[in-house]
Structure 1
């Protein structure tokens, strides 16, 4: 499955849901629980146990019920009270079959729920692990936001789940409170967008921590929401029903409350991908992780507010995929490293790479490392013009062997800044080839 790094999207809707009463709870006498997470591609990935199996879930405020979609690295997991259902979501494909499982035991550190409903998607293509670089098994959203005041500290990469009855709010006075509405188990916020320095347009946006993008907008000419002249067609992500394409662009500003983000990255998705959603109501789009991560946020569904406070990410520039390359893990490969110098003395190398190392004659080490391949190329991009192809195995970037880096670090290396020359050593049909290209502004016409 392709999931665009820095621009991918996870947006899933279920046709229907029902089941036993369920509630996440803290131990008696406990006022809150802190949970550390990994921030990968603007997404919150946190540990969660399902019926005793230790898994990784994305915290996704855009999803109604937990969905389990990847158990490839798990020996077994117990599923209780299972029946077959149909799940619908974004994309142009057909609805897919899934399992509805009732009465499952969920645990997040000391937080528990022993009557949790869970949907299980058996389609192997629904797997975000290769493109995120770590095992990811599912998504969870509304049930946690319903039962707790959820405080997300993107700067420290931690979440604190507060008992609503004991939460006393931010006493520092440094956060800004913005009203939200809860509709169909999702939170919506009102804001402003400005196109090409024209007047501000009021918009209603879904708050979606499960989208790695900045903001999606639905074209509405009557309201003044139109696609700017400078744009390009791109792959935006994947929903349950297939790939989502659209047009990428910049908007002059996005404003939430008193906070203004200038020259913000935006996308206009192909609305055919939303055909499964019969009524958008007055919604104008989505605000996702690339904007949300610039704040430390308290989600208070009970009182209908979110509290925003700037963090160290606030002034980060919005980044586009200048190379045009999409990368993902594709299994593993062995790499050989010499561990002695010219005199035969073992070098001081405390850092080993991969999960398996084999020493050969005390001079060479074989390590089993993830293989990274090109999973997609944007037409007309520098990488496309240089001759890169889907399936090429990335070996090195600017002389640096990529097995020493995480997937997201490699992506940053090939999209660092405008004007930088990138040299890629790749393997194609058992031959090593060297390609080079220069990064350019995605809205810049080819010279």
Structure 2
């Protein structure tokens, strides 16, 4: 999991409302082509693609197998795509602040070069509950999952940030990959896998394959069944519509994916209180992009298959944030870095960093000249590494030395 925990999306109530539209909602390859190559960006462990909507855009969408149907998280999309026909739905039971509202659209015209859409509708949140643009440091307009994957075979090459999609019957190049059987339930992919814990205990777990989850692995019911591993730290795991998700970060020894064994995996364990959610499909947790990006991956929903082939990062160790800082991007151009939370007893806490401090530069380099990924990677780079931060606090600038420390 990267430095500032991946935002969690518990959006089942929204997606249920979209079932009112036709179930024939999918992307198709242009008739004169066998496959289509689509570039993507990895931004804070999110796969971001560009898409035209109703002849407007392009807009940035997160490709997320963990969501059932399309959602626009940016409320300004109502005006951006000239949406005239819409109706309002209420989302209940997701938080202490009462009902939330979203627009439900009629079928939209969605276009990615080489692909076109049929019958795909969306929900547009009336308020940006997740602030994805601030989290990622670039404009993000929404998420798309089932509608993209359900009728295509999708090859994701994390080595060169290129995705190749085709009709399932035209899929080739799978012989050197490990085929993993999956099930498609409630418009999401699931697999069963064996996990080995630090005490040697082995347990079979059913996981949703969640390309939109930035962490490597999350196990959601372990505390009430077998307890936590001995070594762990308390952490903020993200935010949902009903508020922050707290829990713990630890490691499991091995997760088995076919013939591949991924070792010493950083794992999230939500608090028992945070786990009280109703899922239509019983599950033990989710497998996130932190593990998936160690492979080049093929999703083939129509044939209930996931193909994995290790890439050059397969043996790289998993590292967690070593600073204790959570931050977001701010300002008109999202080029300011503001502290949103400091983990108690972390290196950042020990040198007095506080919420709402602005990080102006790191090792004399202005953060406006750095990508969010650069900052993330630097702050989990090496234990005992000293970093010079320039901080704007209480209307003055200060320089402090932050010494990183591996905490898990």
Residues 1:432 and 2:397 aligned together: yes
> Separation in 2 of the partners of 1:165 and 1:157?
24
TM score, norm. by length of structure 2: 0.92
Q: 2:378 aligns with which of 407, 413, 422?
A: 413
User: The residue matched to 2:182 in structure 1 has which SS?
Assistant: strand
SS at match of 1:144: helix
The answer for the alignment partner of 2:185 in structure 1 is 183
Check the 8 A contact 1:12/1:89 in 2, yes or no: no
1:295 shift after superposition: 0.6
Show the counterpart of 2:48.
45
Q: Distance in 2 between the 1:259 and 1:92 partners?
A: 43
Aligned to 2:145: 141
1:152/1:159 contact within 8 Å kept:
yes
User: How many aligned residue pairs are there?
Assistant: 402
Superposition CA RMSD, Å: 2.3
- Whether 2:236 is the aligned partner of 1:238: answer no
The one-character-per-residue Cα deviations of 1:241-285 (angstroms, maximum 9, x if unpaired) are 32211111011111111111111000111243343425552x111
The structure where helix makes up a greater share of residues is 2
Distance 1:268 1:94, change over 3 A: farther
* 1:91-116 C-alpha deviation (Å, 9 max, x unpaired): 77655211111121111112111521
Return the alpha-carbon distance in structure 2 between the equivalents of residues 433 and 44 of structure 1. 36
1:109 lines up with 2:113 in the alignment:
yes
Q: 1:7: how far off?
A: 3.2
Change (3 A) 1:413 1:72: farther
Taking the aligned partners of 2:31 and 2:146, their CA distance within structure 1 comes to 22
Match of 1:26 among 29, 33, 39: 29
User: Which range is displaced more, 71-80 or 21-30?
Assistant: 71-80
Superposed, 1:37-436 pairs within 5 Å as 37-54=40-57, 55-70=59-74, 76-79=80-83, 81-87=85-91, 94=98, 96-167=100-171, 169-170=172-173, 173-220=175-222, 225-278=226-279, 281=282, 283-332=283-332, 370-436=335-401
What TM-score comes out, normalization by structure 1 length? 0.84
The residue matched to 2:368 in structure 1 has which SS?
helix
SS in 2 for 1:380: coil
1:102·1:118 contact (CA, 8 Å) conserved in 2?
yes
